[in-house]
Amino acid sequence: MNLLIDIGNTNLRWTGYGDGVSWSVQVVRHSGGVPLDLLAAWESHPAPARILVSNVGGEAVAGALCRVTRAYWGLEPEFIRTRAEQDGLRIAYADPARFGVDRWLTLIAAHAEARQATLILDAGTAATFDLLLADGRHLGGLILPGIEMMRTSLLAGTRIPRIESEPVGDPWAADTGTAVAAGSVQALAALADRLFDRLAVESGDTPRLLLTGGDAERLRPALDRPCVEIPDLVLRGLARLTGRSSAC
């Protein structure tokens, strides 16, 4: 049994993976450390053979994770690093170290599941877009503030009141607070539609749109193009690396 861990900017996702092990993804907010409910869950967890980690959440949470896994199981986590080429996937970045490991793992998972042109939208604290051709060539991508970051940055510089409810129905709004809430969603959805259409032209085929990340459910109703929501896409990419003697 392997332990797969995806440390994002806000949340930590994890699951066991291996023969006879059910795929059951758990999600906690990490706040730069290992939260108590996760410590409790792992205290009775069987010792894994390996611990594979995707970390974009920073050094503090990585250090805390190492202390916990050493104390519980005497194991060091394997922090995955981006590679220029992997299983037919070739990233566009000249320097692989500058390409987020979470984005790389979503590409690995997408390319393994289907050899098809694919647009991946990871809607989290930041929103990332990555374009992939059927032959495994990564065209590049875009990064924007996520839904909450967009709203927070605008409200911090204005006197507009914050509206907690989510916009429904029309993509426009009839009051200012709701217009901010709707605008953050519609901006990401409109860019997804634009990139989807450009990828269709670039690839000469109809691409897939894969939606992942903590805000995927909030964003999905605003998308005009057909999409498949896969909340655990980073973990699926980690699972593809478990058969290697060294995944780092």
Task: List residues bridging with 53 in a β-sheet.
Answer: 5, 79
248 pLDDT more than 60: no
Indicate the annotated binding residues for K(+).
122
Task: List residues bridging with 210 in a β-sheet.
Answer: 120, 228
Indicate the annotated binding residues.
6-13, 93, 100-103, 122, 125, 176
Name the residue ranges covered by the structural domains of the chain.
2-79, 86-237
CATH number among 3.40.50.10680, 3.30.420.40, 3.40.1400.10, 3.90.1150.10, domain 2-79? 3.30.420.40
245 pLDDT more than 60: no
95 is catalytic: no
pTM over 0.75: yes
Identify which has the larger pLDDT, 160 or 140: 140
Cα 38 versus chain centre, distance: 20
Query: What span, in angstroms and rounded, lies between the C-alpha atoms of 93 and 86?
Result: 14
Same fold, 2-79 and 86-237: yes
Query: What span, in angstroms and rounded, lies between the C-alpha atoms of 157 and 41?
Result: 41
Secondary-structure percent of the chain, ordered helix, strand, coil, rounded to 5: 35, 25, 40
Q: Which CATH superfamily is domain 86-237 in?
A: ATPase, nucleotide binding domain (3.30.420.40)
- For 58, the token pair is 């920073």
pLDDT tens per residue across span 136-151: 999 999 999 999 999 9
- For 109, the token pair is 């998972």
Indicate the annotated binding residues for ATP.
6-13, 125
pLDDT tens per residue across span 44-71: 899 999 999 999 999 999 999 999 999 9
pLDDT tens per residue across span 175-233: 888 888 899 999 999 999 999 999 999 999 999 999 999 999 999 999 999 999 999 99
89 pLDDT more than 80: yes
Query: What span, in angstroms and rounded, lies between the C-alpha atoms of 247 and 86?
Result: 11
User: Mean pLDDT, to the nearest integer, of 21-36?
Assistant: 92
Cα 219 versus chain centre, distance: 14
Query: What span, in angstroms and rounded, lies between the C-alpha atoms of 215 and 122?
Result: 8
246 pLDDT more than 90: no
From 19, 102, 215, 224, the catalytic residue: 102
Q: Residue 177 has what pLDDT?
A: 81
